[in-house]
Each structure stands twice: as structure tokens, then as C-alpha cells.
Amino acid sequence: MSAGKVLIVDDEPQIRRVVRAALSLKGYELFEARNGEEALDVLREYDPDLVLLDMNMPGIGGMETCRKLRSVSEVPIIVLSVRDGEADKIAALDAGADDYVTKPFSVNELMARIRANLRRVPSQSDSAQPLVLSDDLVIDFSKRHVLARGKAVRLTPKEFELLQFLASNPDKPVPHRKLLQTLWGPEYGEEVEYLRVFVSQLRKKIEPDPAHPRYILTEPWVGYRFAIPSSS
């Protein structure tokens, strides 16, 4: 049985060859693309479970490829890049990536990142009933649906898992490390910039005024808290 379908997007044959060899040994079914245009074609035809995306490519480039992949799919995207700056990571996450791995990387590190991004966080709610927070926001855990101001909101899997975990622990500050290890895995804990980006994206989608959030509140130096609005 296949461990999952992985699309490798990189213009360097040597990188594709090394990654292909490592993932094949672990039972993954692999597809390759040399640029963003090919990646979009492969995505549509084979519906991979995860994409490994190089940032430095000819054609439309890695960043634009990431945006285009995210616009048509919720597939987990792991960016591979020689750049290690926080601004580079934030830009990639803003473009729709779920994770960021700096080149050169070890095979063990890459495998751990792939496993982390293929896992799904189990529901934190035993209730099948939607969580009606106000006229502005309804979260249906079982159907993974969110309504904001009466309109359906499209969330990526990571965005929904973040919202689900926070909303399942209402009015409790959740530390950065706890969120990272719950959503990405035990190998994580220091990637606070991931949370900043995903919280920002969530606020844009569900908050009436993202600049003055009502639901997802920042706990300075600690983490985030999901606030249940007062009924009064």
C-alpha cells in the first residue's frame, strides 16, 4: 500500500533524484515537475497528497507557483529553499505553504516534515452540533465548515485545525509550543512565525475587523486565546 502520493517540484534533476530515491524506499508514490506550469498540470491529473516545492525555479517561480497551487487545492505544501531568513519563511507561508525546509537538508528531516504535514489532527469536539458563537461566526466541527457573516469560508486544513483547536479550548491561553506540536508534530516548537502567519490569515477570513480581533486574541509572550463572545 502506498504511503501517499508526493509531487516533487524542482528544476534540478539531482535534487529530484535524491528525494525520489529516499521517498521510494518509504513507500511513497512519486510524481515530478520541473517548473510551476508542469506542477499545476500534475496536480490536476494525479491529485497528490503533498507537494515538495522548490522556491528558485524558472518560469512562474516558486512563490507564484505556491499561490496558484493553493488557489486550486488544499494539498499540504512544503517549501524547499536555500534561504533561511524569517522574512523568506513568512513570505512563503503567506503564499500558501504549510511548512518550510532549508537546503541543504537531511533525508531524516525531510521525512519527518512530510509525515508531520500528512497527519491530521483529530477532532477536539465530541459534539456533532455546530458551535454557534454569534451571528457572525458558526463552526461545524464534524463537517469542517465555517460560516462567517452568513457566508461559507474556505479554510486550508491547517487553518481549520488551528481554529478547531483554539475553539475547543475556549477562553484558555494556548502556548505557542502547544499549538505547534499539536498541529505540526513533536519536532516543532520554535516556529512561532508559522503561527503568526496562520493566525493572520484566519483573522482575515473570520473576524469582522481583523485589525481588532474579536475571537482569536493574542496572549503576549504566551500564545493565543479563543474568546467566546458575551451573550449580553
What domains, with CATH codes, occur in the chain?
4-118 (3.40.50.2300), 131-226 (1.10.10.10)
Question: What's the pLDDT at 228?
Answer: 86
Is the pLDDT assigned to residue 136 strictly greater than 80?
Answer: yes
Residues 175-184 pLDDT 10s: 999 999 999 9
Question: What integer is the mean pLDDT of 199-207?
Answer: 96
Question: What's the pLDDT at 130?
Answer: 67
Question: What's the pLDDT at 36?
Answer: 94
Share of the chain above pLDDT 90, in %: 75
Q: Which one is predicted more confidently, 141 or 64?
A: 64
Nearest Cα residue to 208 out of 229, 179, 194: 229
End-to-end CA distance of the chain: 54
The pTM assigned to this predicted structure is: 0.89
Are 98 and 77 a contacting pair, CB within 8 Å? Answer: yes
Q: Which one is predicted more confidently, 128 or 167?
A: 167
Question: What's the pLDDT at 143?
Answer: 83
Least confident piece of the model among 77-91, 139-153, 210-224 = 139-153
Is the pLDDT assigned to residue 15 strictly greater than 70?
Answer: yes
Question: What integer is the mean pLDDT of 192-199?
Answer: 96
Give yes or no for a cis peptide into 58 (omega within 30° of 0).
no
- The residues, ordered by sequence, that sit 6+ positions from 208 with a Cβ below 8 Å of its Cβ are 136, 149, 214
Question: What's the pLDDT at 232?
Answer: 43
Strand order in the sheet with 223-226: 174-175, 223-226, 216-219
